[in-house]
Structure 1
């Protein structure tokens, strides 16, 4: 009987300690959030992945070409990238820019090395818009110029969509979409990339 009482007391002590430790961690996380500045969630270089490491991420590692495109609304709800049978629907494509190796490295740097200026800002949750009407995309092509994957982008909503769950999610920060839109414009894909532009 004494053994059972002793065991019960030990278990209660362990549970109590775990609850206190959890509360302490929760309070610490809340304190860190309270001390955050808006600028902490802005974009900054916070990873040092090499071009080789970034290029090994799917689908960059299997693509023969990577291109940026802009296009008119497509799909019943205007929420699809205009691709059928792994080919772009040409009548809907407004601009297309195939990226050089150097520009692909710049893109992967932007996607995977640029994130929260303060790494602790990952405690913030990204609030995405409820709309998704993509007008731009990053498309990944094979040796036969067929699209194997894509990342659809809606700059006006601040949302994106992956064609596959295998695509590595990129790092977030509050102005990530603005930086991606600028990358598109720098590469002469300008349609629907300006905040003041009404496509």
Structure 2
């Protein structure tokens, strides 16, 4: 009888442990390769502000751009040199159309041409953004990082120095859940996680910025 009782106790313990393990490996109701980090401790605001690029920035801005371009056909080569009047008209019309932009040019030229929507973040908003960037992925033990689609960012975070010049850019593609920062590479898809992108997208949308391709603009 004691052996039978011990067997039942062992089975009950095994079932409970198995359920706990299953719960740990489930995030937002989906089975994944992510386990909740039991030792998670959020990085406090003061500590986050000591990290680059927040330790150097005097202004943080979030933006949207490339909203009118389908990433599959965003790049369109210019027409050949004009030979006729009609060719000249086509060339002029081509350059009047909005062109997809690469934000890396901002670092060198400080030109923000092509940006569609923009908003400056206040102190509270900077705190929330830094929390998303530095604490979201720390909640989990990530075994595998996924990457899909072609990187075609439509949103970014711009960091300005004391001379009001952009010194760091963090670009985000919510459609393929990918990101890139430059020139420092302080954060990109290799050291982020899938869970950070829904959080960032909600943040951008809450500030009134679009994050997806606007099909009706072209």
Q: Does the TM-score normalized on the shorter chain lie above 0.5?
A: yes
Aligned partner of residue 138 in structure 1, secondary structure:
strand
**Which residue number in structure 2 is paired with residue 51 of structure 1?**
45
- Structure 1 residue 190: Cα displacement: 2.0
Match status 1:140 vs 2:159: yes
Structure 1 stretch 74-83 or stretch 134-143: which is displaced more?
74-83
**Which residue number in structure 1 is paired with residue 186 of structure 2?**
167
Which of the numbers 95, 98, 112 marks the counterpart of 2:134? 112
Aligned partner of residue 152 in structure 1, secondary structure:
strand
Distance 1:177 1:168, change over 3 A: closer
Count of matched residue positions in the alignment of Structure 1 and Structure 2 = 160
Q: Which runs of 5+ in 2 are unaligned?
A: 1-20, 77-99
Aligned partner of residue 180 in structure 2, secondary structure:
strand
- Over residues 172-195 of structure 1, what are the superposed CA-to-partner deviations in whole Å (9 max), with x where a residue is unaligned? 4433211101101111222428xx
Match status 1:41 vs 2:34: yes
Structure 1 stretch 138-147 or stretch 42-51: which is displaced more?
42-51
Aligned partner of residue 83 in structure 1, secondary structure:
helix
Distance 1:178 1:42 in 2: 18
- Over residues 53-95 of structure 1, what are the superposed CA-to-partner deviations in whole Å (9 max), with x where a residue is unaligned? 01111111101100001112699695832633341432x1110
CA contact (8 A) 1:130 1:157 kept: yes
CA contact (8 A) 1:41 1:173 kept: no
Aligned partner of residue 137 in structure 2, secondary structure:
strand
Q: Which runs of 5+ in 1 are unaligned?
A: 1-31
**Which residue number in structure 2 is paired with residue 182 of structure 1?**
202
CA contact (8 A) 2:159 2:166 kept: yes
TM-score, normalised relative to structure 1: 0.66
Distance 1:159 1:152 in 2: 9
Distance 1:94 1:43, change over 3 A: farther
Distance 2:43 2:138 in 1: 15
Which of the numbers 104, 114, 121 marks the counterpart of 1:99? 121
- Structure 1 residue 159: Cα displacement: 0.5
TM-score, normalised relative to structure 2: 0.61
